[in-house]
Structure 1
Amino acid sequence: MRSLRIAWLWLATSFRAAPLPMAISTVLVAARAITTPAQTYGVSQLVEGIADDNSNTIALGIGIIVGGLAVSFVADVIGWPLQDTAQERMAGRVHADLLDVTTGIPGLTHHERPDIADRLELVRERAWRMGVGAEVLLWAFATVANTVTVLGLLGSVNPLLLLLPLLGATRIWSAYVSSVRSHKAYEDSLPQERLVDKLIDVSKDARTGLEVRVFGLGKVLLDRIFALQTERFRRRVEAARWGGKVDGSVRLAFGLAYAVAIVWVIARARNGQQTAGDVVLVLLLAPQVDQMTGGIARNVYWVGEVVRSFSRYDWLREYAKDNSWQTSVDAAPARLRSGIELRNVGFAYPGTESAVLSDVSLTLPAGSAVALVGENGAGKTTLVKLLARMYDPTSGRVLVDGVDLATISPDSWRSQLSAGFQDFVKFEWTAREVVGVGDVRRESDEAAVRAAVSRGDAEAVVAGLPRGLDTQLGKKFTDGVELSGGQWQRLALARAFMRERPLLLLLDEPTAALDPEAEHRLYEQYAAAARVAAAETGGITVLVSHRFSTVRMADLIVVMHNGRVEEVGSHEELLVAGGRYAELFELQARAYR
């Protein structure tokens, strides 16, 4: 059933990408494929007509030869441009589909699990093989047409000669087992390939260049890359050598068998059992049978590669469907009335057994500003991801005004969120776009973008750019401008301000690259925005920070430790309680004093 689905996916994608070019090309490649064996038959008829002094047979032979030349000319002139067009459209369609399917997965599991990440990397890396799927499909049509014609001509001489293509079919077997071995070698080396790519990125990225040079890591990286590459190539070369030996042995056996068949047909012709035309036909078909079986062998390899690629694509589509949260169809509320409640929430990242969060029960009241504090690894960022519904809890539930978040459409919920993260993305676009994409519906609204820049305290950054908001960022571009870490962060913060009235504003250490004074000023901006959102929509602001001078302005402070909620209360209440928060606050206060 799955094989039929994959075959249909290949066929449908090819013809959907370029219906008319594919239809015309199919007819042309089939016509082109039968011209060579047909012209061989024409030559045999010409020789036989000359030997028998039969003008009708001579005319038939000449007509077939000339007709074949005409068909080949038309097929070559019209067919190649159409095939190129079909292939380009197919490649474009495949890459667009892959992007659409991948970005349509609402969760982050496929990024976190190594086994899923490996398969996704394989899908992306081998996507070009699906892109040539249209060409391979046409080759398959041509091979079928050529094979039927050659078999018909050999059978017309003597049915026993049909055994030769069957013997030649062993090349198909050798190509198949060789491709399977080669593919296994490739898949076995995929983890090394991913690591090599990462190490190459580290060695050439300007952001890592400073540490690479300070710690003298250049040779270390090169040695590790060389060792990984050597192991990759060893696996693949061994597979290629094995395949070459198998294919060489099969071709030798086929060549000897065909030599015997030619001698046999000549002997029969001398006894009057075959005609001179039959001898010529068999002699000329000999290399064509070898080419035919070789073509089938090559097609088997490429068909196998394309089928495997579409098999991975089919897996990706099924994975996306299974992880699309299709049952989450409810709309997000326009206003929070009671707030968000985490009820006995536990969570372990996919593919792992250790729990990051355990039995977390917490209420975030509507209109409140909530700060999450705790040491690294306490589970703060994971909690933020659950609130954004990048994952669903392993156990327990997240309730929004009493409604399970798992029933709310992820797109609808996220359209009501805004966020600023420590690991923000440096979008190398124009400054206007870098900020504006915080709310794509208002990206072209000049007033909205400038207001977000102001609230994000990024006006000085924009003022220092040569073309203001229209400046291209990123030194990869000829006229691009590179920013400092703090400048990039201010633009990321401005981006978080594009949505003016979010139901949930998530701030996961978004000011780590800024000094304490700038951070305090920005959080005052956030606090003001939060108060407006709280009054109008009941919006909640969730802040993660290690600076206690900042978190003390929150209405509610949640202290986390080892994936559990240890303390909850206001700054004053937690100081009076004398627990972990008070201890951490005093340590930090002493450091400042």
Structure 2
Amino acid sequence: MASSERTGIPREIDRGIQLWRDRWSLLRLLYADRALLSALTGAQLLAALWPSAFALTVGWLAGRLGDVLGKEAPATAVVTPLVLVALCLLLEEATVALLGAAQIKAAGRVDGRARHRVRTFVLTCRGSTLLEDPEVADNVSRAGNITGDDHRSPGKAATGQLTLIFRILTAVVAAVLVARFSVILAVVLLFGSLLMRAVIRRQWMHLTEVKNGREHRARRARYWTDLAGGRAAAKEIRLFGLGDWAVARRSREALEWAGELWRVRYRVLKHQWPAVIIALVCSSSALFFPARAVVRGEMAAADLVTYLVAGATVITISRMGYEAFDIEYGLESVKALRELEERGTPSRQEAGSGRTGPGSGRPPAIHMENISFRYPGTDRPVLQNLDLRIEPGEVLAIVGKSGVGKTTLIKLLAGMYEPTSGRLTVDGSDLAAADVTAWRRRMGVVFQDFVKYPLSAADNVALGAPENAATPEALAAALEAGDARALVDSLPSGADTLLSAEWKDGVDLSGGQWQRVAIARALYAAQHGRDVLVMDEPTAHLDVSAEADFYRRIVAQASGQTVVLISHRMSTVRHADRILLMAEGRVAEEGTHEELMALDGDYARLFRLQATRFTIPEGGATPVLST
């Protein structure tokens, strides 16, 4: 229901009230830095007063020149007004310079605070479900695209709003000057100029509404731009000859986004005639009536200059400067940020009973009680009535076909998602009511799509427990445990080597090499107090020999932690304390490897199917290719 319908206020009045509230919210953004606001206001005040002062001094100079030319005054009579005109011009230049510097400084600080609020929202959302909502993604784009092509700068919007207020003050002061000649003319010029501005603003600002309403199209165009020109997909695009297709797709998305904008812009240009008529009436009135007064002898010719300059100053308020667009674009960023913060649930504001990771004692008992989960906007459940208990210090393996909910289960465990129904408890406490940030500090996770940070090898490992100061000994131990020590030692600068070829002196790693680094990161976390270690497809990029050795290393290094392994390769998890086979969002089979093989169900069938290619000796670490 619209706000006007809820309050009973007519729609136009309600829109006007909301407009004033929005504009006031922009000015409040500047209030946080009062010293800078004072400097900015002072510069704006000077800029508002000098046009009328200039009109008076130019009129005075014109009168003195007339007296000198008419032999009624000596030539020195023009010196004082001439000096004042020069001072007005110098004041204008100084004011413009001061105002420009103050605006840049103030806008930068406001934008910095806005960026901080966007980052805070993104980083402290309790889970990732909210961030995966397309509407939220659009608002993050609107709120965070401060330096992008759209220039949605809250800082520019705030300083633009202040500029607009003082531009109106400039017109009012000039209108008061015109009123000395004719009150009616002053009212006509001021009212006509404001009306002209309102008409122009209504036409052009509709373009802003259309542009912001098509943010999803803009994001798609940016995606295809990055895909066609970036490194991520460069190999496939060139290998399969997809360059022309990617560029064409990007062009199509860009046209889908811009086509409606062009049509709106064309309609605006076609309907400029009301503004043109108002402009002609105002400008002709400002020229005709003072000139007629001079011809009739009702006003001195020198005063004509003053009133023409003052009248022109009043009319300039109708001009749509950059500040109008800065206000509209930046206001959309502020509104988007407000909507984000109203929808978000920052975990740091929801301190509960969760413990911090380091020094927390024994691993927790985790219980998923009748958990069901489905993604927003879908009816198909990913998990259905799942009941699972993870014992402290247990090595639990979760296997199953792709798409049965294994990774979703891990995201629920990490507090990234909240269950649609049921609850997840940690040592008997509901995770939904706990401090999820503290809970995550007890976990070390290797996701299937782990992040490859463009940092040094040492930093890539140390980010597993960023609250601890990384020592060479701790990093070496984690690398050794993750079978990545030899790899890192072979790099040009050892652990200090930058792992990204996009930067100078950086190197690229293969998929398997990156996975070793990611495993070392998780083991580094385990060494620094993380008592729940989760690995999602940890051997996907490893060779067969490294995969066979993986389990032994993990169990040896993660002693005292709860370990959860997710894999579709049965050989990786066969020695786990307990194995779960998931199917259709439920636990279909459960037990040790021997128990599940004796059950002769789906687990046994899948294990035998994979074992047809490799034979793994019971006591050995090296698989033997079957013949």
Aligned residues: 584
More helix by share: 1
Distance in 1 between residues matched to 2:31 and 2:471, nearest whole Å? 41
- The change in CA–CA distance for 1:526 and 1:380 in structure 2 (over 3 A counts) is same
1:447 pairs with 2:473: yes
Query: Which residue number corresponds to residue 414 of structure 2?
Result: 388
Aligned counterpart for 2:258 among listed residues 217, 224, 233: 233
Q: 2:594 corresponds to which letter in structure 1?
A: E
With over 3 angstroms needed to count, the CA separation of the structure-2 counterparts of 1:98 and 1:9, relative to structure 1, is farther
Report the secondary structure of 2:271's partner residue. Answer: helix
Which 5+ residue runs of structure 1 have no aligned equivalent? 534-538
Partner of 1:590: 612
Partner of 2:589: 567
2:47 maps to which of 32, 37, 42 = 32
**Larger deviation, residues 466-475 vs 161-170:** 161-170
Match of 2:167 in 1: 143
Aligned partners of 2:175 and 2:189 also within 8 Å:
no
Q: Quick check: 490-499 or 258-267, which moved more?
A: 258-267
Equivalent residues in 2 for 1:344-355, closer than 5 Å: 344-355=370-381
SS in 2 for 1:481: coil
Q: Which residue of structure 2 lines up, in the alignment, with residue 519 of structure 1?
A: 547
The offset of 1:310, in angstroms, is: 1.2
Q: 2:100 corresponds to which residue?
A: 80
Three-state SS of the structure 2 residue aligned to 1:13 is helix
When residues 27 and 282 of structure 1 are mapped into structure 2, their CA distance, relative to the original with a 3 A threshold, is same
Question: 478, 487, 502: which one pairs with 2:530?
Answer: 502
Map 1:15-164; keep pairs closer than 5 Å.
15-16=31-32, 18-47=33-62, 65=85, 68-126=88-146, 128=151, 129-161=153-185, 162-164=187-189
Alignment-derived partner of residue 536 in structure 1: none
Deviations 1:494-516 (A, max 9, x none): 11111224221111002211012
What is the Cα deviation at residue 247 of structure 1? 3.9
Find the partner of 1:426 among 418, 435, 452.
Answer: 452
Contact kept? 2:111, 2:146, Cα under 8 Å: no
- Give the 3 Å change call, closer, same or farther, for CA 25–305 of structure 1 in structure 2: same
> Against the structure 1 CA distance between its residues 301 and 81, is the aligned structure 2 distance closer, same or farther, given a 3 Å change threshold?
closer
Aligned counterpart for 1:480 among listed residues 489, 506, 512:
506
Q: Is 1:359 paired with 2:352?
A: no
- Identify the range of structure 1 (277-286 vs 211-220) with the bigger mean alpha-carbon deviation: 277-286
- Structure 2 Cα separation of the partners of residues 492 and 168 of structure 1: 64
Flag structure 2 segments of 5+ consecutive residues without an equivalent. 1-16, 615-625
Q: Determine helix, strand or coil for the equivalent of 1:89.
A: helix
The residue identity in structure 2 corresponding to 1:85 is K
Aligned-pair distance for 1:3? 6.4
Q: How far apart are residue 105 of structure 1 and its match?
A: 1.8
TM score, norm. by length of structure 1: 0.90
Amino acid across the alignment from 2:38 = A
SS at match of 2:465: helix
- Does 2:582 correspond to 1:556? no
CA contact (8 A) 1:509 1:544 kept: yes
Q: 1:354 to 1:179 in 2, by over 3 A?
A: farther
Change (3 A) 1:54 1:238: farther
Distance 1:59 1:125, change over 3 A: same
Residue 261 of structure 1: how far off its partner (Å): 4.5
Please point out which of 288, 295, 299 is paired with 2:323.
299
Do 1:430 and 1:469's aligned partners in 2 also have CA atoms closer than 8 Å?
Answer: yes
Structure 2 partner of 1:220: 245
Task: Tell which deviates more after alignment, 474-483 or 515-524.
Answer: 515-524
| Percent identity over paired residues | 29
- The answer to whether the Cα contact below 8 Å between 1:174 and 1:246 also exists between their aligned partners in 2 is no
173, 196, 199: which is aligned to 1:171?
196
Q: Which secondary structure state, in structure 2, belongs to the residue aligned with residue 24 of structure 1?
A: helix
- Tell me if the contact between 1:29 and 1:141 (Cα under 8 Å) persists in the aligned partners: no
Deviates more, 1:386-395 or 1:93-102: 93-102
Q: How far off its partner does 1:108 sit?
A: 0.5
The CA distance in 2 between the partners of 1:313 and 1:80, in whole Å, is: 26
User: In structure 1, the residue corresponding to 2:353 is in which secondary structure?
Assistant: coil
Q: Pick from 6, 9, 13: which aligns with 2:29? A: 13
Partner deviation per Cα, 1:490-538 (whole Å, 9 max, x = no partner): 11111111122422111100221101220221221111233x21xxxxx
**AA in 2 matched with 1:14:** L
Instruction: Give the secondary structure class of the aligned counterpart of 1:560.
Output: strand
Q: State the AA in 1 paired with 2:196.
A: R
Q: Does 1:329 align with 2:355?
A: no
TM-score by length of structure 2 reads 0.86
- Are the aligned partners of 2:171 and 2:313 in contact in 1 as well (CA < 8 Å)? no
Cα deviation, residue 437, structure 1: 1.0
Change (3 A) 1:256 1:175: closer
CA displacement at 1:337 relative to structure 2: 6.8
What do the CA deviations read for 1:163-190 (whole angstroms, capped 9, x no partner)? 1221122332233223332123323443
Structure 1 distance, partners of 2:221, 2:520, is 36
Contact 1:421–1:507 under 8 Å retained in 2: yes
Question: What is the letter of the counterpart of residue 588 of structure 2?
Answer: E
Task: Tell me which residue corresponds to 2:562.
Answer: 540
Distance 1:12 1:185, change over 3 A: closer
RMSD: 2.8
1:285 aligned onto 2:289: no
Q: Which residue of 2 aligns with 1:193?
A: 218
Deviation per residue, 1:318-353 (Å, 9 max, x gap): 233x45474442232724577111101111123333
For the 8 Å contact 2:64–2:78, the answer to whether it is kept is yes
